[in-house]
Structures are given as C-alpha cells and as structure tokens.
Amino acid sequence: MKIFSGTTSKELTKKIHDKLQKLSGESFIGKLKIDKFLDGETLPIFEESVRNEDVFFVQTTNTSDSIVETLLVIDAAKRAGCKSFTLIAPYQGYSRQDKNDHLRSSIGSKMLAGILESTGMTSLISIDFHAPQAQAFYNVPVIHLNGNKIFIDYIKNNKIEDLTIVAPDQGAVRRASDFCKAFPDATFAMINKKRIKPNEIHSMELVGEVSGKNVVIVDDMADTLGTMKKAAELLMEKGAKSVRCIATHGILSGKAIENLYSSQITELLVSDSIPFINEKDSSRNEGRGIYQGPPEQTKFKVISCADIIAKTIWSLTNKKSIHEEINVI
C-alpha cells in the first residue's frame, strides 16, 4: 500500500499518514511529483514503482484543475501497473449537481463518476456527499463517511448545556437527526426555507422551540454563509442563547468570511476536507471576499477529518469492519 497526495491535499495527506504510522508503525507515504508546463498543463510523475501496489490518492476535487490532475494521476498509476487505485476525495466536487434541476442542464455528479471510473479508479472514499444517493452513480465500491463524527467530540468536550440541534432545511433533517443521537438530552428543530434561486433565500420559518437554548446548526457544507447568517438571526429572534454552525465542507465562497463576522453566529466549525485559504495570502483570495475580522472575534475553527479517513484505510487494509473501527453513528 502507498499513499500519495494531490496538489490540494498535501497537509491533510500528511495528517492521515501520521495517524496511520501510529497505528501500524510503518511508513506508507509515496513520492509523486506534479509538474506544470508554463501554459498550465499538468504532468504527474510517480518517482517510485507502484507495480502491484494498492494506491491511495488523496485529493479534494473542488476545482476543475484538481479533477483533471486526479484523472492524470489515475492514468499514470494504471499505466505503471498498480493493482488498485482508491481515490480519497474528502470533498467530492460537483456533488450538488445530482439531478436535472434546470431545463437542459447537466448532471455533473453523474458525469464525474463516469469519467473517474473510465480512467481507472477502482474505489472511492469520500465524506458527506451533498446528496447521499449519488453513491448510486458509481459502479465501483464507494465508502461514504458520516462527517458528524468529526465534530461530536468537540461539542461534547465543550459541555454545552440546554442544547438544541437544528436542521437548516429539509435536506439536512436526516444529518441533523443523526447528530442529535449523540446527545440524548438535546432537543431537535428545523428551519423551513423557500429558495428562489441558488444562494438566495426568499423566506424562513422555524419548526420547533429554541427559546433559552444553545443551538447547533448541522449541515454538509458552508458556501457563502448567507443562509447560515439569516438562520442565526431567526434563531436569536426566537430566543436562542447562542448559535453554532457545523458544516463538514467549508467551501466559503464569495463574502463567506465577511458574512460570518457580521452575523450573530457564535462559532463556525468546518473540517479540513477543503483546504482553507490563509487570510494573509491576498493573491489567492480573489473572488472569495476574505474579511479581516478582529483577532478577538475568532469565530472560525477547523477540525481535521484525518482521523476518520486514516481509520477507514486501516480497517480496509486489515479487513475489519469500518463502522466498528471509526464508530460511525
């Protein structure tokens, strides 16, 4: 077995490998060079033999460039004679395009699945597809991990009293309900929202009681945070004491960070499934609306998904039950 990193996931790959090394006492890190031509063309080169190896490649496919890079790496590995190729995509891009919502539009999630398989991917490990049923687009084994496990210990360790778990819309009810199982004394509520177009909410109404409660909103992704900001306002109007937001994937596009710091959100928790762009690196923040919030108003926390991924790889290579190994709810 060898583990290789794509351009988008170098830090996460190192964390995964460090945890695997503690479990096994062995090193599994592989050497892969990603060359770039001056015109931007990508050329991946394995710097060691992968013949008859089980290759694990970590790459968040959140951009078109990362998808093309992934396809080229799969092709290179298969041509080099690898035994199997497992893509570990903590965040699988285009997962929101799981159905034909618009006249004459594509179904991007289905198309991506077909391309990855035709190139030579033999299995996929990912966390919280936007639509879990998109697993059916794949004809290879898919291990779909529950992102709730990443955040449960953090909430438990903070010993938050009067807890209410809130689903921000109908699509998040199952995810939030699963999260609620880890807190027997917590109550549950949901927000019914009407959306007139992507990233724009027409109206919201609360179903349930949050007065005097510390609220935790549970969702799969945080994009512009416009919805979360409005949800926090509604919940505070209804008497909530505090509002925390949990999102497995911190997409954070547009004015997301500005929306966070100007909102009534107490804290935003995301995983490192998508690498967070450093606020100081302004050249990479173009179009993301990164806001320089005061240091004393820290509302943003990243919790690594490396642990559940490492335990999943470990259980696979040792033929153990994945659910028992990582205690998925």
Q: Supply the residues annotated as catalytic.
A: 193
DSSP state, residue 193: E
Residues 6+ apart with CB under 8 A from 104: none
Nearest partner of 190 among 212, 223, 217, 163, judged by Cα: 217
The DSSP annotation for 205-227 comes to EEES--TT-EEEEEEEEESSSHH
Q: Bridge-partner residues for 144, per DSSP?
A: 126
Please tell me the distance from the alpha carbon of residue 116 to that of residue 313, in angstroms, as a whole number. 20
Please tell me the distance from the alpha carbon of residue 118 to that of residue 134, in angstroms, as a whole number. 17
Residue whose entry in the numeric block shows the structure tokens 């170098």: 10
Residue whose entry in the numeric block shows the structure tokens 């060898």: 2
Please tell me the distance from the alpha carbon of residue 301 to that of residue 221, in angstroms, as a whole number. 14
Question: How far, CA to CA in Å, does 166 sit from each of 19, 141, 174, 218, 292?
Answer: 32, 32, 11, 6, 29
First-last CA distance in the chain: 28
Neighbour-count burial for 211-239, b at 16+ CB within 10 Å, e otherwise: eebbbbbbbbbbbbbbbbbbbbebbbeee
Residues 6+ apart with CB under 8 A from 241: 162, 212, 213, 214, 215
